[in-house]
Structures are given as structure tokens and as C-alpha cells.
């Protein structure tokens, strides 16, 4: 395999709750250079634990395109494991589909939802760059709804990011059948209009990047 990279750590501590590592090479330490205020001499990883015990009545996940080939889709899963899916762009399935998610996959998603501190989830998270994908989720449970939109996978809780990475791929493992459903048949279809690609980057005459907040002042 070309461009294969190897990262080397020494295990300092390992128990049921904690994994503590010491990066042993310069290349390994470079993995963490983009993170502020991290001591790269010792990396501590904490086990993700359940923070709720809900059974969602409905989970809706949406994703946008980006300036590359990010998949744009919407998927809805109810408590009976019924699935609605619509692939808009860069998905293996395009158009509307229906099916039933397997018990193991549903249990996995349920576990990831229960790892999230739902009462502290923000409605919006945004990264500091302008060329990425936007994802959104609505979790309905106990006559409540948690809404969140994430742009760029940078500021959101890691537990939410893990859930998103599962939901954006889960349709590939479900036996889906073609259906004539459109976006209006999804419970939270109106959120789809807010999950849009970011604006294209702007540059001045000297090819210097102009941040979005500066663009607004020039209009």
C-alpha cells in the first residue's frame, strides 16, 4: 500500500476507564499538532459511557454536499426499526427507499445515542473553515426533540460525531427497496433546506482568502 504511515505509542496506563499513551516518534506527535493546548507527551483517552437510557420514537439524520464528493442524504429510523431513505447526491442509492434496519445495527445506533449528553447538545456547531459538509440530526423521545446541526466536524461532542459517522453509512447495510417517497414524507423534511453546502470561498485580487464575516461587510 502506497503512502502507508505507522504511528507508535507506548501504553502508560490501561484499565476499564482509561487508556494513556506516550507518542514515541515525531510523526506520531504531529497527529495532534492541530489541537490547541494538548500535551503531546502524554495522550489520555477516556472510555465513553452511557449518559441516558432513552428509546427514541424517531431519529432523522441529514447530510449535505460539500466542494468535493460528500454524500447528501436523509435517513429516518423509527422505534419499530422502519427506515426511510432518500439519496440526493454522491450516494450508492439515489432517490427514495424503504426498509427495516437489522436488530444489531439498530442496537448499535441506540447505544451511540445513549452515550450523548442530550440536554447539553447545542443547535449549531461550526468549524473555522469553509469547504466542508453540514450534517444535522433530530432525535425525538418522550415528547421532546433534540435538534443539532454540525458543520465541519470540529466543535461538536465526540459522542455526536461518532453517531454521525455511523448514520451516514448505515443505509449501505440495510436491505432497502425502491419507493416513490419524496422529502415531504419524512417527519423532519423541513430541516433539509437548512442542511446546505457552505458558500464558496472568496479571494481578493492577490489570491488571498477572504473570511465569510469580512465578505458580509463588503456587500
pLDDT in tens, 1-16: 567 788 899 999 999 9
Q: Is a pLDDT exceeding 90 seen at residue 154?
A: no
Residue entry with cell 473555522: 128
How many alpha carbons lie under 13 Å from residue 24 in its C-beta half-sphere?
8
What local confidence, expressed as pLDDT, does residue 212 receive?
46
Q: Across the chain, what does the average pLDDT equal?
A: 86
- Report residue 55: phi and psi, to 5°: -120, 100
CA 56 to chain centre: 18
Q: Is a pLDDT exceeding 90 seen at residue 136?
A: yes
What's the predicted TM-score (pTM) here?
Answer: 0.78
To the nearest whole percent, how much of the chain has pLDDT over 70? 84
192 CB-near residues (< 8 Å, 6+ apart): 62, 74, 183, 186
CA 126 to chain centre: 12
- For residue 151, list its beta bridge partners: 126, 134
Q: What is the mean pLDDT of residues 49-69?
A: 93
pLDDT tens for each residue of 180-202: 998 888 998 888 777 755 455 55
- Name the 3-class secondary structure at 4: coil
Distance between CA atoms of 38 and 201, rounded to whole angstroms?
30
Domain coordinates of the chain in residue numbers?
Answer: 9-46, 58-194
For residues 29 and 47, which has the higher predicted lDDT (pLDDT)? Answer: 47
Residue 89 in grid coordinates: 447526491
Distance between CA atoms of 18 and 163, rounded to whole angstroms?
21
Chosen CATH of 58-194 out of 3.90.1200, 1.10.10, 3.30.1560, 2.160.10 = 3.30.1560
Q: Pick the closest to residue 22 from 7, 5, 6 (CA basis).
A: 7
Amino acid at each position: 500500500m502506497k503512502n502507508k504511515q505507522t504511528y507508535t505509542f507506548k501504553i502508560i496506563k490501561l484499565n476499564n476507564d482509561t487508556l494513556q499513551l506516550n507518542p514515541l516518534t515525531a510523526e506520531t506527535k504531529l497527529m495532534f499538532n492541530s489541537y490547541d493546548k494538548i500535551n503531546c507527551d502524554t495522550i489520555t483517552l477516556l472510555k465513553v459511557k452511557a449518559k441516558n437510557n432513552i428509546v427514541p420514537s424517531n431519529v432523522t439524520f441529514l447530510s449535505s454536499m460539500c466542494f468535493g464528493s460528500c454524500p447528501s442524504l436523509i435517513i429516518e429510523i423509527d422505534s419499530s426499526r422502519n427506515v426511510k431513505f432518500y439519496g440526493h447526491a454522491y450516494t450508492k442509492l439515489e432517490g427514495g427507499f424503504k426498509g427495516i434496519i437489522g436488530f444489531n445495527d439498530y442496537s448499535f445506533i441506540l447505544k451511540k445515542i445513549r452515550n450523548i449528553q442530550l440536554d447539553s447538545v447545542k443547535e449549531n456547531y461550526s468549524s473555522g473553515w469553509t469547504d466542508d459538509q453540514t450534517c444535522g440530526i433530530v432525535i425525538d423521545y418522550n415528547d421532546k426533540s433534540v435538534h443539532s446541526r454540525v458543520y465541519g466536524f470540529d466543535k461538536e461532542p465526540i459522542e455526536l460525531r461518532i453517531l454521525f459517522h455511523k448514520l451516514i453509512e448505515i443505509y449501505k447495510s440495510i436491505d432497502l427497496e425502491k419507493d416513490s417517497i419524496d422529502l415531504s414524507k419524512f417527519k423532519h423534511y423541513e430541516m433539509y433546506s437548512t442542511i446546505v453546502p457552505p458558500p464558496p470561498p472568496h479571494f481578493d485580487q492577490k489570491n488571498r482568502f477572504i473570511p465569510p464575516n469580512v465578505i458580509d461587510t463588503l456587500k
